[in-house]
Amino acid sequence: MDFKQELAKKDSLVFILEGFRYVSKIVEINQEISKEFKRICYVSFTKPAKRVAQELLNSGVDISGYSFIDCISEEIGEDKRFGATYLTSPKYLEELSSAVIGNIMQKNSQIVIFDSISGLLIYNEELNAMKFLNALTQAIGKNKRKMIFFVLEEDMRKSLLKDIELFADKIIGYG
């Protein structure tokens, strides 16, 4: 599936990814995104920004237009000298919302990538996380920006799918 056509028509896409192909699919998507957009905000809930950036670089992704919001380094005691925006924890949704909206306003990011809904759900109740994502999607949409969300296929349940359908313009199985 050519997700670029979908992204041209829709503001928010959710990719359901198989666990064993998760990293390779994220790299593949980022390779395309980095060609289409000059300013990209990458929000990481599960890996330190430095490691995400290194994985992308090692796979040939041009990250010169990326800015990273790292939600996990503080939580796990990781080195924070990479140059990302470091948040206290994925638990603090108001802090996260402020950081994302601030990134859009200050760095003029054209697209926000959330890696991943699965990671966000480790630290937050599903209902709170979905309310947060819905509100954030509306705020980002008002600023005429695009959004991509990743979720592990293994984490998909009927209730989660219904919740995601409330804020996503398109859900794509991208195994």
| pLDDT tens, residue order, the chain (175 aa) | 578 899 999 999 999 999 999 999 999 999 999 999 999 999 999 999 999 999 999 999 999 999 999 999 998 988 888 889 999 999 999 999 999 999 999 999 999 999 999 999 999 999 999 999 999 999 998 989 999 999 999 888 878 888 898 899 999 997 6
Alpha helices in the chain (DSSP H): 3-9, 22-36, 49-58, 73-76, 93-107, 117-123, 126-142, 158-167
CA distance 19 to 16: 9
In a domain, 97, yes or no: yes
Kindly state whether residue 175 falls inside one of the protein's structural domains: no
Q: How far apart are CA 105 and CA 125, in angstroms?
A: 28
In a domain, 94, yes or no: yes
Q: Tell which residue, 43, 171, 14, has the closest CA to residue 109.
A: 43
Residue 16 Cα distances to 74, 99, 118, 152, 156, angstroms: 27, 25, 10, 6, 8
The rounded distance, in Å, linking the Cα atoms of 114 and 41 is: 9
- DSSP-derived secondary structure letter, 154: G
Number of domains in the chain: 1
Look at residue 129 and tell me if it is in a domain.
yes
CATH number at residue 79: 3.40.50.300
Which domain covers residue 118, as residue numbers?
A: 3-170
pTM across the whole model: 0.95
Are the C-beta atoms of residues 46 and 115 closer than 8 Å to each other?
yes
